[in-house]
Amino acid sequence: MVVDWVLVLEWVVKSILLVFILLTGFAYTTFYERKLAALIQLRIGPNRAGPGGWLQPAADGVKLIFKEEFTPAEAYKFVFVLAPIITVVPAIVIMAVVPWGDMVNLFGRMVPLYLADINVAVLYILSVASVSVYGIVLAGWASNNKYAMLGGLRSSAQMLSYELALGLAFIGPILIAGSMSLMDIVEAQRNVWFIVYQPLGAIIFYIAMLAEVNRAPFDMPEAEQELTAGYHTEYSGMKFSLFFMGEYIKMAAVSGIFASLFLGGFRGPFVDQLPGLGPLYFFLKIVASLGVMIWIRATMPRLRYDRLMAFGWKVLLPLALLNVLVTAVVIVALGL
């Protein structure tokens, strides 16, 4: 077997670039959230570090690195250290199948602007998302603290419940595009975004996605008033910031998936002529989706836990099933 070293190099460079963008993007997502939430709530937000507060994420990072790392004496040490890692890794690897552009000509070589275009991309996303539950559950258990434990259990029940609606919301775009590859799904949205054909599916997906990443109003696992800080009560320093990082990278990742499924991904005006515009459009769509998430967090109160479960099972899941049924019937009836 002849190994194409240039191809290997290309993959390595793209992977490192993606990881680097996600890791720095995470810091500025927190800044974006604090600034935007401040704007919505008529506050000023961080404005001390650097001009306009733009160095705030760096200052936060330095602070977290120098904080004391504390491990409770009664904790299950190995799992306690493992849990933050299990939280961050799925958040990063899930972006591997999301395309952020078409082919571009770089140094006389056609380079595709995606890591992997696999025919089971949607299933890959679902399986990685389902594995990401473990980080939170194990953190709750390994801390050996009843608040952490309750937070972990709550989140596992919540994420399992909303995963079903999330999985069903995937089916609409798959049916229309006739493929599970995200590249094909984006390609099928060349003329019309799927949010036009699938408004209900898009709304269900967005709600379920908020619950998957434990964002307000579904931030039940870390409800401060009842569970101190939920699953990461006992975590401090860099271990805590890994959970923080996991949450914000997941926000960006699910926004990217949402943009690919319903907002046309990297498609936009003049992308065919200038493929370099693809990543820019994709980035703008992610920023818009993140903005809506922050807007929701800044305005909505948290749901009560039983209401949250009832909403997931009795409203979201039947609606998602109905959406699949209607989509399938319409596609067969129109003979697409």
Partner 1 sequence: MNGELILFFVLAIVAISAALGMLFSRNAVYSALFLILNFATVAVFFLLLGAPFIAMAQVTVYAGAIMVLFLFVIMLLGAEQIQHQARRGWQRPLAMLLTLVLLAESAYLIFTRSDVLTVLQPAAADYGSPQSIGMLLFSEYLLPFEVTSILLLAAMVGAIVLVKEDKKSGGQK
Name the one range near partner 1 by CB under 8 A: 40-48, 58-66, 145-153, 238-246.
145-153
116 lines the binding site for partner 1 (CB under 8 A): no
Query: DSSP string covering 219-235, please?
Result: -GGG-HHHHTTGGGTT-
Give φ, ψ of 112 to 5 degrees. Answer: -75, 135
Please state the closest distance from residue 78 (CB atom) to partner 1, in A: 9
Name the one range near partner 1 by CB under 8 A: 37-45, 133-141, 193-201, 287-295.
133-141
Please state the closest distance from residue 297 (CB atom) to partner 1, in A: 26
Judge whether 72 and 330 are in contact, CB under 8 Å: no
For residues 57 and 167, which CB has a smaller minimum distance to partner 1 in the complex? 167
Name the one range near partner 1 by CB under 8 A: 31-39, 151-159, 184-192, 252-260.
151-159
Please state the closest distance from residue 118 (CB atom) to partner 1, in A: 6
Instruction: Give the long-range contacts of residues 271-278, CB within 8 A, separation 24 or more.
Output: 271/102, 275/101, 275/102, 275/103, 275/104, 275/105, 275/113, 276/101, 276/104, 278/100, 278/101, 278/102, 278/113
160 lines the binding site for partner 1 (CB under 8 A): yes
Q: Out of 91, 98, 115, 133, which residue is the one contacting partner 1 (CB under 8 A)?
A: 133
119 lines the binding site for partner 1 (CB under 8 A): yes
For 75, other C-beta atoms within 10 Å of its C-beta total 19
123 lines the binding site for partner 1 (CB under 8 A): yes
Give the interface size with partner 1 as a residue count (CB under 8 A): 27
309 lines the binding site for partner 1 (CB under 8 A): no
Name the one range near partner 1 by CB under 8 A: 16-24, 155-163, 294-302, 316-324.
155-163
Q: What residues numbered 82-101 form the site for partner 1, per CB under 8 A?
A: none
- In whole angstroms, what is the distance from residue 256 CA to residue 282 CA? 7
Number of helical H runs and strand E runs in the chain: 14, 2
141 lines the binding site for partner 1 (CB under 8 A): yes
188 lines the binding site for partner 1 (CB under 8 A): no
314 lines the binding site for partner 1 (CB under 8 A): no
Please state the closest distance from residue 259 (CB atom) to partner 1, in A: 22
Judge whether 285 and 189 are in contact, CB under 8 Å: no
CA distances from 173 to 119, 168, 199, 333 (A): 14, 10, 11, 17
For residues 22 and 129, which CB has a smaller minimum distance to partner 1 in the complex? 129
156 lines the binding site for partner 1 (CB under 8 A): yes
Amino acid identity at 4: D
The 8-class DSSP code of residue 98 comes to -
231 lines the binding site for partner 1 (CB under 8 A): no
Name the one range near partner 1 by CB under 8 A: 136-144, 204-212, 267-275, 323-331.
136-144
Residues 6+ apart with CB under 8 A from 208: 162, 163, 165, 166, 169, 312, 316, 320
Residue 301, preceding peptide bond in cis (omega within 30° of 0): no
Q: Which residues of this chain interact with partner 1, rule CB under 8 A?
A: 1, 76, 79, 118-120, 123-124, 126-127, 129-131, 133-134, 137-138, 140-141, 149, 152-153, 156-157, 160, 163, 180
